[in-house]
A and B are shown apart, each in its own frame.
Chain A
Amino acid sequence: MKAVLSRRAKQIYLACFFAHCLLISTVCCNETFRLISEGFTIVRGMPNEVWRGARELTAATLGQNLPASNPVRQGEAAYLHLAGIEAGYGFFAPNIPAAYKLIFEIHYSDGQVEYETPRARTAAGELRLAGLLDKIGARRYDPLRELMIKLLAHAVWREHPKAVMIRAIFGSINPPKLAEFEAGPDASYEFLYSYDFVLRDQAIPIAKP
């Protein structure tokens, strides 16, 4: 026996559909307005305040202006993550960011120095590692960036337990521009940050959430 959806059920499904699409559009608009207001696009003419205002509006729709503990904000955020719609779709847009490279200079007590880069064991893992370096490069909050690099240094130290100091050197790789390629095809490396970690045999404390 085939069950038929009641009129009421159809109305509920349609309401959910419109709410779902509204959330997707709002997240995408929020991301687009952010890119425009921060000057990453070719859009000129309208003052940045207009785009910032538009972004505020979309952020308010997403409940991001509410206190962090507010149940509406929590519920909305949870739904966005459960449905996989919490982020916009501007991949490689509006422009391609630089690639980042992290090099560890491993110092031993006898003065010996080795060089190492963070590595994954699989090609898929390498792709994710590159994404991690992009995220480190994009962080504007210095302590968090330092903590992330410290954790990566700790992973390297586990493989080199006799090291006494690890210097992490973080920089960006800029491939040659199309017009410059014929003149000299080498990518340029730009130094960004350097951190020295003196090692002791203890875990790095990260409180559980």
Chain B
Amino acid sequence: MTGGRVSRGKIDNFFFSCLPTTWLAVLRIGSGLAILVYALSLREDWTYLFSGTGRGLISRNLGEQILSLDGVVIPRLGWLIGLGSYVSLSEKAVLFLTWISLVVAGGFLIAGLFCRFSAIVAWLIHLCAAKSGGLVTYGVDNFITIALFYLMLSPLPDRYALDQVWLRWNPRHKELLGFYRRVLQIHLCLIYFFGGITKCLGSGWWNGANIWRAMTRPPFDIISAEVLFKWKYFLPAAGIAICVIETGYPLFIWMRKTRLLWLLLVLGMHVMIGFSMGMFLFALIMIVLNLAAFGPDFSFNSAAILRKAAPKEHNSTEILSNSLVP
């Protein structure tokens, strides 16, 4: 075998393995859950946050004008409202329909019913809301968009989805299961690496001042300052730990010996952020992304999973794709 073929084989093995679909099920159910939590937690504020000038908290039109400075072909709620006006639907009615569509799409994603269509609907409507309401968005919206973007492109449905159990729908190109998982894994490595590096560049992360400030700053001051003060000697260690966990993520999550430890550290960090700062949706989507990328069945060498999973006498990806991936 020539060197070129060997390296091509390695690239194929790294990027285009027919993995089990468990990770995709985690991403689908987790994203559906995040969309449901997102929509339900904003149910009473939905119209208030996304109405046009003079009808809500702040003008959706202003948010869309600022968005237009970035690009004019970025989806926004104004387009849907414009479409609705053709059939005499008021802004309020269209906003209500978009909210209902999000809830239904989230529910369908959890159940695995019409997975691809549900993922596209959830992605598009959430994106429109996040972009039109750019003034009232924060980091969590980017992560939901990322999760739904990869989900709708991935080879759906997974083996646990009702699409496959009831309707016997199968994905066409199963090699793409490995490809999209790799994209998600490397994207997460970039996210944590740059997030960690930027924190390392701030003096407050080395002496605990930033942890103190983050947790005493409204609206994240869920734990009282008095309680936090009792833990003051722990704060510098927590700040440094966050820098190390995030910056070291791309390295330690790939090393076999540290993989599980790092995954648990990152998941623990997000659970702590969720409970101590009230950022539950942010914690949820980050946990989902991490579990999908590095959770069940993860191995740096995909062939190892296949060998482990497939019958001993057959040692090929083809066998796995026939036997494990429904």
Contacts and interface: CB of A to CB of B under 8 A. Distances in A.
A101 to B, nearest CB: 8
B31 interface: no
Given A122-B42, A132-B58, A155-B58, A182 B229 contact: yes
Interface string A184-209: 01010000000000000001111111
A206 B61 contact: yes
Contacts of A93: 195, 198-199, 201-202, 205
B86 to A, nearest CB: 16
How many A residues are at the interface, by size bracket?
Answer: 35 or more
B272 to A, nearest CB: 13
Contacts of A151: 53, 58-59, 62
Interface in B186-211: 186-187, 190-192, 194-195, 197-199, 201-205, 208-210
B175 interface: yes
Interface string B230-268: 001001000000000000000000000000000000000
A208 B127 contact: no
Interface string A107-129: 00000000000101111111111
B61 A209 contact: yes
A10 B216 contact: no
A46 interface: no
A84 interface: yes
B205 A89 contact: no
Nearest to B12: A10
**A17, A130, A158, A206: residue with the most chain B Cβ atoms closer than 10 Å:** A206
Contacts of A121: 44-45, 48
B72 interface: yes
B310 interface: no
B44 A175 contact: no
A147 to B, nearest CB: 7
Contact of B70 (A4, A77, A176, A203): A77
Given A96-B204, A96-B214, A155-B57, A125 B44 contact: yes
Counting chain B CB atoms within 10 Å of each CB, the highest count among A28, A93, A131, A182 belongs to A93
Contact of B54 (A75, A154, A207, A208): A154
Contacts of B67: 209
Contact of B41 (A20, A35, A123): A123
B90 interface: no
B47 to A, nearest CB: 10
B198 A178 contact: no
Interface residues on B, range: 35 or more
Contacts of A81: 70-71, 74, 127, 131
B301 interface: no
A21 B186 contact: yes
Contacts of B183: 17, 20
Contact of B145 (A83, A120, A204): A83
Nearest to B37: A124
Contacts of B139: 87, 89, 91
B56 A155 contact: yes
Nearest to A14: B15
B219 interface: yes
Contacts of B198: 31-32, 35, 88-90, 93-94
Contacts of A31: 194, 198
A90 B202 CA distance: 11
Given A89-B195, A93-B202, A178 B235 contact: yes
B323 interface: no
Contacts of B45: 120-122, 124-125, 128
12 contacts: A28-B194, A36-B201, A84-B144, A88-B194, A90-B198, A95-B202, A125-B42, A127-B279, A132-B57, A132-B58, A135-B135, A155-B58
Interface of B: 11-12, 15-16, 38, 41-45, 48-49, 52-54, 56-59, 61-62, 64-65, 67-75, 78, 127, 131, 133, 135-139, 141-146, 149, 172-176, 179, 182-183, 186-187, 190-192, 194-195, 197-199, 201-205, 208-210, 212-214, 216-219, 221, 225-226, 229, 232, 235, 278-279, 281, 321-322
Given A204-B59, A206-B65, 18 more contacts: A3-B172, A73-B71, A84-B149, A86-B70, A89-B192, A93-B202, A95-B210, A99-B217, A121-B48, A122-B43, A123-B41, A124-B38, A135-B135, A152-B57, A178-B232, A209-B65, A209-B67, A209-B72
